[in-house]
């Protein structure tokens, strides 16, 4: 099988809550996503999506996806999309770095492989564990009372895991954690995600002030070394996210005992092929995971669902259903949350069909 055409469309994804806010005053009102189609000479087409969390979160930006695809796609024509290790070697040789540009192509090729084999992607990724899996709800950074009200509201919809966007003023963040804790019930899990927003002295104050609260601390500071220094002065369970961008740092962090849980984002690592490599290593090393992406719509959510559903239940700390955050559906067949839980499609491949009629002209068309 050979790749004959790669096409990409820009799509806007507005938010039910109007905007999403996190550390350092960063926010996004309408997400800029890119849907990718990889066509083949076998008549099978695979689909992927990539959606950076704005331009100031990771070294990734929405227009960069399309610019990068224009550079990369000509090098992929004629390649076999079902030989994913080889395809990733070709992508890495053609374009150094820029994992987020490669992510949607890699996901689309897993979709092709699944369609060719007649099995869902989750089966190819290792097998389906359980009937469904836990989701978390990210709580946009607002006042402590507003965040507590949001948690209570999402709890009523069935979520049991909540990730608070902190990483702002430490005194307000302490109030945020305590206000939300007051509306939780036994069995709920709370994660305070600073998204690199605290300096070490601020993180030290927060972890001390919430010492008696059952809360996970996620990525308090910008650098690995700063996070490690905070880790060493707290006994809260600890999550690393932004700094875990490859296998080298994962191995180093495991050796240092730097975290209990890691957050693996598909586009941060360059697609399902590379995320599976880290996911499987985490299982061997005994590290639980949040499996997700930076942001996205129906197609990103489908890819997350296959990755999460193919992960042993005890290692899946939590996952994300981004398609329930946005007002627009971009694909038929996408997984839909039920009482805070999600399941991957049982159809071959990702099990989704993009709504191309609504997309307009492609931004990238290489054939
Ligand atoms: Mg995070």
pTM value is 0.97
Distance CA 198, CA 222 (A): 8
User: Which residue in 115, 165, 268, 276 is the catalytic one?
Assistant: 165
Distance in angstroms (rounded) separating the CA atoms of residues 321 and 342: 8
Beta bridge partners of 265: 292
**Which numeric CATH code is attached to 123-350?**
3.20.20.120
Q: How many whole angstroms from 193 Cα to the centroid of ligand 1?
A: 6
Q: For residue 155, what is the enclosing H or E element? A: helix 144-156
Tell me which residues of the chain have a pLDDT lower than 70.
none
CA count, 13 A, side-chain hemisphere, 229: 12
Residue 350: per-residue pLDDT: 98
Kindly report the backbone phi and psi dihedral angles of residue 354, in degrees, each rounded to the nearest multiple of 5, phi listed first: -60, 150
Ligand 1 center–CA 43 separation, angstroms: 39
The reported pLDDT for the residue numbered 124 is: 98
Q: What does each C-alpha distance from 106 to 38, 111, 149, 271 come to in angstroms?
A: 10, 9, 39, 5
> What pLDDT sits at residue 51?
98
Q: Is 86 a catalytic residue?
A: no
pLDDT value of residue 349: 98
Q: What digits encode the pLDDT tens for the residues 135-155?
A: 999 999 999 999 999 999 999
- Domain 3-120+354-366, classified CATH 3.30.390.10, yes or no: yes
Tell how strand 216-218 and strand 238-240 pair up: parallel
What is the bridge-based pairing of β-strands 161-165 and 137-139?
parallel
Q: How far apart are CA 277 and CA 101, in angstroms?
A: 18
User: What pLDDT does 28 receive?
Assistant: 93
Q: Exactly one of 115, 265, 268, 274 is catalytic; name it.
A: 265
CA 273 to each of CA 85, 90, 327: distance values in angstroms, whole numbers, following the listed order: 7, 13, 29
- How far apart CA 239 and CA 73 sit, in angstroms, is 35
Q: In what order do the strands lie in the sheet with 364-366?
A: 45-50, 30-40, 3-14, 364-366
Domain with CATH 3.20.20.120 in the chain: 123-350
CATH 3.30.390.10, the chain: domain bounds: 3-120+354-366
Q: What is the rounded distance in angstroms from the CA atom of residue 51 to the CA atom of residue 62?
A: 7
Any idea what DSSP says for residue 356?
A: G
**What is the predicted pLDDT for the residue at 152?**
98
Predicted pLDDT at 344:
98
What distance in angstroms lies between residue 197's CA and the mean position of ligand 1's atoms? 11
- How much is the pLDDT for 336? 97
Dist. CA 2 → ligand 1 center (Å): 37
Q: Any catalytic annotation for residue 21?
A: no
Centroid of ligand 1 to alpha carbon of 117 (angstroms): 34
What per-residue confidence (pLDDT) applies to 134? 94
Ligand 1 mean position, distance from CA 292 (Å): 10
For residue 76, the CA-to-ligand 1 centroid distance in Å is: 32
Average pLDDT, whole number, for the chain? 97
- For residue 159, report the distance from its CA to the centre of ligand 1, in Å: 18
In 16-98, where does DSSP find H-type helix?
A: 62-76, 84-94
């Amino acid at each position: 099988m050979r790749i004959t055409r790669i096409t990409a469309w820009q799509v806007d994804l507005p938010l039910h809550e109007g905007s999403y806010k996190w550390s350092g005053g960063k926010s996004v009102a309408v997400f800029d996503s890119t849907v990718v189609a990889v066509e083949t000479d076998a008549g099978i087409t695979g689909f992927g999506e990539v959606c950076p969390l704005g331009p100031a979160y990771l070294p990734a930006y929405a227009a960069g996806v399309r610019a990068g695809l224009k550079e990369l796609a000509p090098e992929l024509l004629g390649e076999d999309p079902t030989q994913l290790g080889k395809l990733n070697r070709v992508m890495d040789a053609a374009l150094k770095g820029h994992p987020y540009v490669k992510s949607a192509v890699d996901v689309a090729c897993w979709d092709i492989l699944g369609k060719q084999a007649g099995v869902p992607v989750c089966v190819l990724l290792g097998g389906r564990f359980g009937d469904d899996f836990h989701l978390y709800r990210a709580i946009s950074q607002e006042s402590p009372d507003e965040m507590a009200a949001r948690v209570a509201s999402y709890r009523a919809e069935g979520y049991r895991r909540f990730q608070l966007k902190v990483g702002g003023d430490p005194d307000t963040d302490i109030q945020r954690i305590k206000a939300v804790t007051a509306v939780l019930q036994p069995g709920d899990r709370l994660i305070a995600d600073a998204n690199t927003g605290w300096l070490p002295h601020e993180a030290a104050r927060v972890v001390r002030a919430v010492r008696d609260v059952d809360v996970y601390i996620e990525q308090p500071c910008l650098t690995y070394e700063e996070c490690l220094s905070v880790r060493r002065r707290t006994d809260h369970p600890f999550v690393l996210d932004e700094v875990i961008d490859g296998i080298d740092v994962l191995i180093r962090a495991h050796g240092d005992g730097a975290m209990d849980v890691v957050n693996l984002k598909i586009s941060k690592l360059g697609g399902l092929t590379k995320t599976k490599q880290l996911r499987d290593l985490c299982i061997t090393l005994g590290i639980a995971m949040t499996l997700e992406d930076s942001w996205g719509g129906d197609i990103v959510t489908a890819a997350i669902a296959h990755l999460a559903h193919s992960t042993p239940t005890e290692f899946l700390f939590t996952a994300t259903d981004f398609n329930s955050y946005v007002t627009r559906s971009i694909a038929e067949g996408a997984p839909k949350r039920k009482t805070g839980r999600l399941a991957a499609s049982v159809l071959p491949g990702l099990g989704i069909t993009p709504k191309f009629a609504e997309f307009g002209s492609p931004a990238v068309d290489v054939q």
